């Protein structure tokens, strides 16, 4: 574990996740940025920050495109270069990767990466339609296949091949709601019972309401620097030591398998190799639980268990807060919420808190290595990042 | 009949209008493309031809949609599945005329064609799946 950091996170910010009727996305991003600036008093935003890379999925939600300069304006950072990155629900995971590339190239020394989405003012039917835009228009959308429907197709295939149960999926929801109850910034901060999850109304069988992440408003950001100057800004930087990004067919139906996301496997292998660590070295992980089945697939794709054994990991409590490998301590997309463009860097924000000992009631003891896993669409994009405390 | 049709998704749906399930084959490396693509993505050749597939395949997975986009809300709940045709080619689609209790992964399904078109872009004819 002697890997050289790619970049260092010297600060991070997150808006409260939830229903923000009175705000548009740019205002939520300003809240996240304000927290990041406050947390890092040695940083002079105007003098130090050189560029913005912003994950944002869709202009449909707010009828607002050209997100990069809008957010630079609302955060006082004009006229710095500001670019929007779009990879559906993996948009800010991709923005993080882009920020890393900008620093590694030597072009910039300090950048802000983040993401934003403002979704709750839309009807469920509208959001269902906008999210489905991340799937294949010509064959999936044209046949009325929704975004939950795509993950349901994976769930059914996984149940058929490995015997995974609806109860195991529901246990993921129960765990993540418990963690969310400890996170003051989570959209939902209440526990649920297994019975309640299993009896919730059907969205796309076998997925029920409590198998699905929340439609949420929110924003997140990280301030990245070149590792050699990180200590100018903070005594407790968190280093990014591995970055993996991969793509796959836009259509789920074209994949080699329905029970695993190849992009996530490829991205995690790239990240582990770069960081020179193994899955067993990870102390805490934030994975893309847009649906409960997605978290079980993530366990397998990230090498936390062998293929088909995701259900065992949840049954054995290994990924609970007190377990050997706590997963989604923030509450995950499931309870913290899933403002799609903000999710990737919100996951990194939680890992940043965990590795700097700022996660309060949900703090994992002595966490040294963290992982985040951010998936776009039904798996056409996946990004995996690895982090190490200083 | 098929030689002049461009290797496009639009052509695929024109064949659907004619009740045909068509894929594209690369003349240089024999790679099969469904959906059709304008270039072989294995060897980058543009020496392509249309081939007709058997209309029966195997169900790989399915789900029952209860929350739908506006356009499909009147059909809720409806079943969608992914069907594997010969040579490992897959298509997703709505499954009609099959009670949920009778669905089983691995069962044989047949592709069928709907003469009505949607009245918003893309104005293609629809295909669907039904029991053999
Ligand atoms: Zn070829």
pLDDT in tens, A26-36: 999 999 999 99
A86-95 mean pLDDT: 98
- Write down the pLDDT at residue A125: 87
- Determine the Cα–Cα distance for residues A194 and A182; give it in Å rounded to an integer: 18
Interchain contact, B82 vs A258, CB within 8 Å: yes
- Residue A3 banded pLDDT, cuts 50, 70, 90: confident
Interchain contact, B80 vs A132, CB within 8 Å: no
DSSP state of A213: P
Report yes or no: A138 at the B interface, CB cutoff 8 Å. yes
Report yes or no: A128 at the B interface, CB cutoff 8 Å. yes
* Confidence check: pLDDT of A2 > 60: no
Enter the tokens of residue B43: 């060897």
- Determine the Cα–Cα distance for residues A380 and A386; give it in Å rounded to an integer: 20
Give B60's contacts in chain A (Cβ within 8 Å): 157, 258
- Determine the Cα–Cα distance for residues A33 and A12; give it in Å rounded to an integer: 8
* Confidence check: pLDDT of A219 > 50: yes
Alpha-carbon dihedral sign for residues A154, B100, A146, A199:
negative
Min distance A274 CA to chain B CA atoms (Å): 29
What's the B47 CA to ligand 1 centre distance in angstroms? 8
* Confidence check: pLDDT of B130 > 80: yes
**Angle, CA of A376, B75 and B108, to the nearest 5°:** 75
Min distance B101 CA to chain A CA atoms (Å): 13
- Write down the pLDDT at residue A324: 97
Give B14's contacts in chain A (Cβ within 8 Å): none
* Confidence check: pLDDT of A139 > 50: yes
Report yes or no: A215 at the B interface, CB cutoff 8 Å. no
- Please report, rounded to a whole number, the percentage of residues in chain A having pLDDT higher than 70: 99
Task: Report which of A345, A242, A315, A389 is spatially closest to residue A32, judged by C-alpha positions.
Answer: A345
Enter the tokens of residue B61: 């997975």
- Determine the Cα–Cα distance for residues A343 and A336; give it in Å rounded to an integer: 10
* Confidence check: pLDDT of B2 > 70: no
Interchain contact, A204 vs B94, CB within 8 Å: no
Give B90's contacts in chain A (Cβ within 8 Å): 253-254
- Write down the pLDDT at residue B1: 47
Enter the tokens of residue A249: 């067919």
Interchain contact, B122 vs A138, CB within 8 Å: yes
- Write down the pLDDT at residue B119: 75
Give A206's contacts in chain B (Cβ within 8 Å): 63
A148-169 mean pLDDT: 98
Q: Are A330 and A286 in contact (CB under 8 A)?
A: yes
- Residue A178 banded pLDDT, cuts 50, 70, 90: very high
B84-88 mean pLDDT: 96
Task: Report which of A201, A12, B14, A193 is spatially closest to residue B4, judged by C-alpha positions.
Answer: B14
- Residue B3 banded pLDDT, cuts 50, 70, 90: low
Q: Are A197 and A170 in contact (CB under 8 A)?
A: yes
Torsion on CA atoms A148, A151, A155, A161, rounded to nearest 10: 150
CA closest to A151 among chain B residues: B63
Specify the length of chain A in residues.
390
* Confidence check: pLDDT of B20 > 80: yes
CA closest to B81 among chain A residues: A153
Enter the tokens of residue A155: 């769930």
Neighbours of A236 (CB within 10 A): 15
Q: Are A378 and A252 in contact (CB under 8 A)?
A: yes
């Amino acid at each position: 574990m002697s890997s050289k950091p790619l970049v260092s996170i010297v600060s991070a910010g997150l808006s409260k996740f939830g229903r923000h009727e009175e705000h548009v996305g740019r205002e939520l991003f300003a809240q996240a940025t304000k927290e990041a600036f406050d947390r890092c008093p040695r940083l002079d935003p105007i003098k130090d920050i050189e560029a913005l890379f912003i994950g944002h999925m869709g202009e449909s939600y707010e009828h607002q495109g050209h997100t990069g300069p809008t957010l630079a304006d609302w955060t006082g950072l004009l006229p710095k270069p500001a670019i929007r990155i779009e990879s559906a629900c993996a948009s800010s995971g991709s923005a993080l990767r882009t920020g890393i590339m900008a620093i590694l190239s030597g072009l910039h020394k300090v950048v802000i990466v983040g993401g934003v989405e403002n979704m709750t003012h839309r009807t469920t039917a509208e959001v269902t339609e906008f999210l489905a835009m991340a799937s294949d228009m010509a064959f999936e959308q044209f046949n009325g296949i929704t975004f939950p429907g795509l993950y349901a197709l994976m769930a059914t295939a996984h149940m058929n091949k490995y015997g995974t149960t609806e109860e195991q999926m529901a246990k993921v929801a129960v765990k993540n709601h418990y963690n969310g109850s400890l996170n003051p910034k989570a959209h939902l901060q209440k526990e649920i019972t297994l019975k309640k999850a299993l009896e919730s109304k059907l969205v796309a069988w076998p997925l029920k309401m409590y198998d699905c992440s929340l439609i949420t408003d929110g924003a997140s950001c990280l301030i990245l620097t070149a590792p050699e100057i990180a200590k100018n800004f903070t005594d407790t930087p968190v280093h990014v030591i591995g970055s993996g990004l991969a793509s796959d067919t836009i259509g789920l139906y074209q994949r080699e398998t329905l029970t695993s996301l190849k992009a996530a496997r490829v991205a995690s292998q790239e990240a582990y190799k770069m960081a020179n660590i193994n899955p067993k070295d990870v102390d805490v992980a934030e994975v893309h639980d847009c649906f409960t089945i997605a978290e079980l697939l993530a366990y397998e794709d990230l090498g936390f268990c062998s293929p088909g054994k995701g259900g065992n990991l949840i049954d054995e409590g290994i990924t609970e807060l007190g377990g050997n490998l706590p997963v989604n301590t923030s509450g995950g997309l499931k309870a913290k919420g899933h403002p799609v463009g903000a999710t990737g860097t919100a996951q990194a924000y939680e890992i940043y808190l965990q590795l700097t000992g700022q996660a309060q009631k949900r703090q994992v003891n002595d966490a040294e290595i963290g992982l985040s896993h951010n998936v776009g669409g039904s798996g056409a994009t996946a990004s995996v990042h690895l982090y190490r405390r200083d | 009949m098929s030689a002049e049709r461009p290797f496009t998704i639009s052509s695929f749906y024109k064949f659907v209008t004619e009740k045909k399930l068509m894929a594209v084959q690369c003349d240089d490396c024999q790679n099969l493309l469904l959906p059709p693509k304008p270039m072989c993505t294995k060897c980058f050749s543009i020496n392509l031809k249309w081939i007709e597939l058997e209309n029966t395949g195997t169900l790989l997975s399915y789900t029952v949609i209860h929350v739908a986009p506006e356009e499909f809300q009147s059909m809720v709940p409806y079943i969608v599945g992914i069907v594997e045709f010969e040579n490992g080619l897959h298509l997703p689609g709505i499954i009609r005329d099959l009670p949920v209790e009778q669905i089983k992964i691995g069962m044989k399904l047949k592709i069928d064609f709907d003469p009505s078109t949607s009245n918003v872009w893309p104005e293609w004819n629809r295909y669907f799946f039904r029991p053999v």
